[in-house]
A and B are shown apart, each in its own frame.
Chain A
Amino acid sequence: MRVTRILGTVLMAMLAVGWVGAATAQQESTLEVVKKRGTLVAGVKADYPPFGYTDKDGQLVGFDIEVVNYMAKKLGVKVDLRPVTSANRIPMLLNGTIDMLAASFTITIEREKVVDFSIPYFMSGGSFLVKKGSGIKGYASLAGKTVTFTQGTPWEKKTLQEQPKAKSLVFQDKPQAVLAVKQGKADAYVDDDIPLYLFAKEHPELEVVNGATAKQPMGIAVRENDSKWRDFINFSLIEMWEDGTYKAIHKKLLGVDPDPDLRIFPWKL
């Protein structure tokens, strides 16, 4: 808690400094800067598949990178990808090192205080990994079933709260939990949905059932008070959704279509 508060203070201080700087150089939108420079500099994750990670040739690839590439193509500029970590991504955006932050970044009120977010372009939450045709639809159908978890995640506690009749089977690492479901030692594996999607892609007999927790939105972050730039990003995301690019990327990286319940970009008047 204390760390968060210190971090918050540091961020606020940075914001204040940024504001002073912005007051003098606010005139030009990042949109113009990027066009003039001919390069879009984007902060992405290098260690978080499938959003941003390094492939076996050492190239940065992933969902966020595809989104950045789409936007650069639209602008007709080159892409310069800068790997960021969860700790340095906000400072790198605020000090101007990067033009946008597409780094599996969850939208929160605390973060909204220091950066501006695009519209949500991905929703992520907890899910169930089960055998296809298991009939498991949520916590209610886990009564008397064996559910597997990895130690150190909040899911065991959450699941036993929602379904006290579930039997728990806890492993140290994700692969053993997946194997337990595959072999029928467990009926479901509860964890963050993104790795589960990747496992389901690798093991066709398994599928992901959503609903272990409400989903949280992810957005692209930009510096505050840069309307033109944020509009460009929002419109690009909407276009991506409408021309099918979004669906294609989703299918390619996660092995499934986007959740049909997820109407992220229906905003066309």
Chain B
Amino acid sequence: MGYKFDWGVLLVYRHLLWQGLVLTVQLSALGMVLSLALGGVIGLGRRAEAKPLRWLCGAYIEFFRNIPLIVQLFFWYFAVGLEAFPAAVIGLTVYTSAYIAEVIRSGLQSIPRTQIEAARSFGMTPFQVIRHVVLPQALMRVIPPLGVEFINVIKNSSIAMTISVTELTFQTQQIESLTFRGFEAATAITLLYVLLALTIVLLMAAIERVVRLDLRVG
């Protein structure tokens, strides 16, 4: 191999990696929590009784998930004129919530109508049907795909560097432009991203286990 690795640059510029990591974690965590809340509401809206509401939520999903994230970030930052970090959080949230809404919808739809009819014929109220029949089963089914969306949030947060957010990928390129040591920096952030993604995987697995025990299903 012609390239001589010099891992020392990572030590020298560790403060840049650390700053980038902190920003990426903040951005991703906010994006996950907010997009889960928003996506949950929109996903429920897709199953609402009122037709206009169903249509509105469908339009929201198709609109925000089909526009590239980078365009949405430019929109919030340059067109709306928000500060860089809020623009990134909002862009990431709105974009991801459209995907999460679809995950929620598919979870709700996976419960056969016959179960609901059976529960109703036992004399359960609609609220009881949702609380005791639909939600427990739907929750189990949406946890794995939600994990996928959360991992995507982490990776998508790197696009925030196009609107001057100095997150992890940005700092890597900064190290590269300061030292011309691109391979070392790229290796470091690859490991950091994998670490973040694995954290999510483990967290989701733990949640799944708790829910499974709690509900005695699956």
Which residues in A have their C-beta under 8 angstroms from that of B178? 157
Query: Interface size bucket, A side?
Result: 10 to 19
CB of A151 within 8 A of CB of B81, answer no
B166 at the interface (CB under 8 A from A): yes
What is the bound-complex CA distance between A179 and B75, given in angstroms?
12
Which one of A151, A169, A170, A179 lies within 8 Å of B78 (CB-CB)?
A: A179
CB of A170 within 8 A of CB of B81, answer no
Which residues in B have their C-beta under 8 angstroms from that of A88? none
A169 → chain B, closest Cβ, in Å? 5
Which one of A148, A157, A170, A183 lies within 8 Å of B166 (CB-CB)?
A: A170
B137 at the interface (CB under 8 A from A): no
Residues A151 and B162 in contact in the complex (CB < 8 Å), given A179-B78, A183-B78, A183-B81: no
CB of B162 within 8 A of CB of A170, answer no
CB of A152 within 8 A of CB of B173, answer yes
What is the bound-complex CA distance between A157 and B84, given in angstroms?
22
Give the nearest-CB partner of A171 in chain B: B164
What 1/0 mask marks residues of chain B from 174 to 215 whose CB sits below 8 Å from any chain A CB? 100110000000000000000000000000000000000000
B163 → chain A, closest Cβ, in Å? 8
What 1/0 mask marks residues of chain A from 158 to 202 whose CB sits below 8 Å from any chain B CB? 000000000001111000100110010000000000000000000
CB of A152 within 8 A of CB of B164, answer no
B150 at the interface (CB under 8 A from A): no
CB of A176 within 8 A of CB of B173, answer no
What is the bound-complex CA distance between A208 and B132, given in angstroms?
68
Main secondary structure of the interface of B (DSSP, over half): helix
B170 at the interface (CB under 8 A from A): yes
CB of A169 within 8 A of CB of B164, answer yes
B161 at the interface (CB under 8 A from A): yes
What is the bound-complex CA distance between A202 and B205, given in angstroms?
55
Residues A152 and B177 in contact in the complex (CB < 8 Å), given A170-B170, A179-B78, A183-B78: yes
Which one of A157, A172, A179, A183 lies within 8 Å of B161 (CB-CB)?
A: A172
Give the nearest-CB partner of A177 in chain B: B164
What 1/0 mask marks residues of chain A from 127 to 145 whose CB sits below 8 Å from any chain B CB? 0000000000000000000
Which residues in A have their C-beta under 8 angstroms from that of B164? 148, 169-171, 176, 180
Which residues in A have their C-beta under 8 angstroms from that of B177? 151-153
Report which A residues bind B (CB closer than 8 A): 148, 151-153, 157, 169-172, 176, 179-180, 183
Given pairs A151-B177, A180-B164, 12 additional interface contacts (CB within 8 A)? A151-B173, A152-B173, A152-B177, A153-B177, A157-B178, A169-B164, A171-B164, A172-B161, A176-B74, A176-B162, A179-B78, A183-B81
Query: Which 4 A-B pairs have CB atoms at the shortest separation, nearest pair first?
Result: A152-B177, A169-B164, A172-B162, A151-B173
Chosen A-B contacts, 23 in total, with CB atoms closer than 8 Å, are: A148-B164, A151-B170, A151-B173, A151-B174, A151-B177, A152-B177, A153-B177, A169-B84, A169-B164, A170-B164, A170-B166, A170-B174, A171-B162, A171-B163, A171-B164, A172-B161, A176-B74, A176-B78, A176-B162, A176-B163, A176-B164, A179-B78, A183-B81
